[in-house]
Amino acid sequence: MGLPALDEFPVALWARLTARRWRRDGAALLGYTDARGYPPLREAIARYAVTARGVRCTPDQVVVVNGAQHGVDLLARVLLDPGDAAWVEDPGWWPVRAAVRAVGARPVRVPVDAGGLVVAEGERRAPDARLAFVTPSYQAPLGAVLSLERRLALLAWAGRAGAWVLEDDYNGEYRYDAPPLPAVQGLDRAVHGDAGRVVYVGSLSKTLAPGLRLGYLIVPPALVEPLRQARGASDLHTAVPEQAVLADFLAEGHFARHVRRTRALYRRRQACLLALAPRLTHGLLELRPTGAGMQVLGLLPDGVDAAAVARAAAARGVVVTPLAAAAPGAAPHEATGGRGGLLLGFAAFGPEATRAALETLGRVLREAAAALPPARRR
Amino acid sequence: MGLPALDEFPVALWARLTARRWRRDGAALLGYTDARGYPPLREAIARYAVTARGVRCTPDQVVVVNGAQHGVDLLARVLLDPGDAAWVEDPGWWPVRAAVRAVGARPVRVPVDAGGLVVAEGERRAPDARLAFVTPSYQAPLGAVLSLERRLALLAWAGRAGAWVLEDDYNGEYRYDAPPLPAVQGLDRAVHGDAGRVVYVGSLSKTLAPGLRLGYLIVPPALVEPLRQARGASDLHTAVPEQAVLADFLAEGHFARHVRRTRALYRRRQACLLALAPRLTHGLLELRPTGAGMQVLGLLPDGVDAAAVARAAAARGVVVTPLAAAAPGAAPHEATGGRGGLLLGFAAFGPEATRAALETLGRVLREAAAALPPARRR
């Protein structure tokens, strides 16, 4: 789950850009740089985010980080004080709650439905929260897109409450059934201008590769200096050589090309999974596809334990993630009507690997269903 | 100050090792790795630290971080709770105090003298501290080496108090008048075994280059799992490609060679600075050299303001760091008998650059001395 198609990464091109940078810049890549990141990279990121994601910003507002999770961790440290409330999606990825708790603040679970985060419920539970974490493009992990109405309600609340919205643009590039929706950040700038409340979190772990540990924040003007200081006091900045190579990769159009190519590929890979799964899993996995993302949620028959299925599958070399492990707590239970859920990543796997994995999973599911007390079998 | 000779960095070799890694490993460099770092790098670091720095450890105890400051920040988050006391050297680098304060803990200043940290004074001021930060190889910024007697006293206190010792092996590789002293960590393992109290912090910003953002921790067995979890919850791990290249650089002996070469170079560069300074600064800068490190402390005449001199020099293109800026607080004043101090980095500069900088600094000092009220002039 969550792994992109690493074998599609243009390794030779990346190596060539790396060699060229060392040849051209040499020792200039070895010194300190701005804590916000290498300036040419910040320019290239701003240009990409404005064009491709509907963000409104200048390069001054860009902060390069070591992946989206690092950005969330850094923002929690800058924006939250001990005791502060912070909205988190329910169900939602656990690392966000960990980052909130790590600074002594209090995660307040806000439910999600088919329209994404239920903003009105957040306002009811914690109107004075300092921060709201949201995945508008693809609610992680269920896949809902945050509706326009909710986006506007979220921005209006943030403006009134003086709260920050952390927009994690998770899977923002990977939508297959429609053009990707522009980021909430652009809407925020239209509504609030320089007094914007949205911090945009961009990951390159999904669009490029997690091993590179690269991501970026786009922050309102008021947060530029606090972020710079926080980064300077923690690990100073991201390594310069890699930033320089990424700057070229973006500026020369390779990144946009790679995103287009992988988007078409993942659309095909999702279609393949959806076509093969019903038969190979013997109708024992009810898939809940969305027209986006890099994984599909599958619901198990009543009484079949997701964690046990995942363990049995892993023992045979197939890794699936129980929904409750990705998003622990009560709400995954509610979201699935009490049934167990498995998240199946499809982006990294071609048709043969997908077929083989589904066959294995099918055998595991059959055994799990057969082991149920007779009254519970379908 | 603090900048190594970046033009001596073997850029072509590093680029060649990078190209080879991409060619051989390709997509294998793009996925996630252990939060403690890429396993072959951890092995190479353990081997180096054992051989070159007298550390006792297995690769399991090595945690790769994004520079020494990142390591200190991470350790403060893992080891300190709000309200805890932590010994910090006085004078001592400000980022350490910032990391302690960032987690709500309380830095307790402990004076240093010619034997380094005055351990008995630390025990008097905060016997129940959770942590003691120390730079035993080269007290930052004054340059004292922590005496064997103090090392043993520090370890005995840490054992009794159940406190952690953060050994920042600052400038550990750069000693010119004697072989570098082995790390306190090795002594700790001899005294306490697996119940060791010392966390070793290694930087590659001084020995290689700060732009690479690479460093490492060597932690007692009890801290391996807490560190792994903390790193996993913050930015997951350091970028894999760079870790792989560094692993080769270490394993193939290039690193040890680079350290030997730069050690000889910095010895010559320090000698050059010490030979030229008295005449070129007109006797207005009293140098306090140590046989180690990458900078020399110079004391100003009574009444000459270090910050004003640094500003005037910077306006003419020469950057020197006032002692009180590197190590703010009362103690720099005590350490210099009330006189202002300037830290002069020498490692990055050849004879011509050193001569030109000293000439400029000499002019600035003459003007500053001439501007003193007549009674204060020497």
List, for residues A260-270, the tens digit of each pLDDT value. 999 999 999 99
Exposure letters B237-258 (e unless 16+ CB within 10 A, then b): bbbbbbbbbbbbbbbeebbeeb
Tell me the mean pLDDT in the region B298-314.
Answer: 95
Tell me the mean pLDDT in the region B234-243.
Answer: 96
Q: Per-residue confidence at B150, pLDDT binned at 50, 70, 90? A: very high
Helix, coil or strand: residue A164: strand
**pLDDT given at position B330:** 66
CA atoms within 13 A on the CB side of A344: 32
Q: Per-residue confidence at B378, pLDDT binned at 50, 70, 90? A: low
Nearest CA in chain B to A213: B239
Nearest to A306 by CA among A289, A291, A327, A320: A320
Average pLDDT over chain B, rounded to whole? 94
Q: How far is B244 from chain A (nearest CA, A)?
A: 11
Q: Per-residue confidence at A163, pLDDT binned at 50, 70, 90? A: very high
Average pLDDT over chain A, rounded to whole? 94
How far is Cα B172 from Cα B139, in angstroms, rounded to an integer?
Answer: 10
Strand A164-168, strand B295-299: pairing: unpaired
Tell me the mean pLDDT in the region A299-303.
Answer: 93
**Is the peptide bond prior to A10 cis by the omega test (within 30 degrees of 0)?**
no
How far is Cα B71 from Cα B45, in angstroms, rounded to an integer?
Answer: 15
B333 pLDDT higher than 90: no
| A251 CB burial (10 A radius; 0-12, 13-18, 19+) | middle
Q: How far is A26 from chain B (nearest CA, A)?
A: 6
**pLDDT given at position A217:** 98
Q: Which of B77, B96, B234, B319 to mutate to test the interface with A (most CBs of A within 10 A)?
A: B234
Q: What is the pLDDT of residues B18-32, one digit of tens each?
A: 999 999 999 999 999
Q: How far is A81 from chain B (nearest CA, A)?
A: 11
Q: Which of A78-92, A178-192, A330-344, B61-75 has the lowest mean pLDDT?
A: A330-344
Q: Per-residue confidence at A337, pLDDT binned at 50, 70, 90? A: confident
Q: Do B104 and A102 touch (CB under 8 A)?
A: no
Residue type (1 letter), A64: V
Largest CA distance in chain A: 72
B377 pLDDT higher than 70: no
B176 pLDDT higher than 80: yes
Please state the φ and ψ torsions of residue A85, each to the nearest 5 degrees. Answer: -90, 145
Nearest to A245 by CA among A62, A86, A19, A43: A19
A335 pLDDT higher than 80: no
H/E run at residue B163: none
Of A19, A104, A211, Cβ closest to residue B241 = A211
Tell me the mean pLDDT in the region A231-249.
Answer: 96
**pLDDT given at position A378:** 52
Tell me the mean pLDDT in the region B251-270.
Answer: 97
Q: Which residues of B touch A77 (CB under 8 A)?
A: 102
Q: Which residues of B touch A95 (CB under 8 A)?
A: 233
Pair of tokens at residue B162: 């159940």
Nearest CA in chain B to A237: B213
Q: Which residues of B touch A3 (CB under 8 A)?
A: 31
Q: Per-residue confidence at A181, pLDDT binned at 50, 70, 90? A: confident
| B315 CB burial (10 A radius; 0-12, 13-18, 19+) | exposed
- In chain A, the percentage of residues whose pLDDT exceeds 90 is 86
A334 pLDDT higher than 80: no
Q: What is the pLDDT of residues A116-148, one digit of tens each?
A: 999 999 999 999 999 999 999 999 988 999 999
Nearest CA in chain B to A67: B235
Q: How far is A20 from chain B (nearest CA, A)?
A: 9
A84 pLDDT higher than 60: yes
Edge-to-edge strands of the sheet including A131-134? A62-65, A215-218, A198-203, A164-168, A131-134, A85-90, A106-113, A116-117
Q: Do B7 and A29 touch (CB under 8 A)?
A: no
Of A6, A31, A104, Cβ closest to residue B31 = A6
Q: Do B212 and A239 touch (CB under 8 A)?
A: yes
**pLDDT given at position A376:** 64
Q: What's the ipTM? A: 0.93
- In chain A, the percentage of residues whose pLDDT exceeds 70 is 99
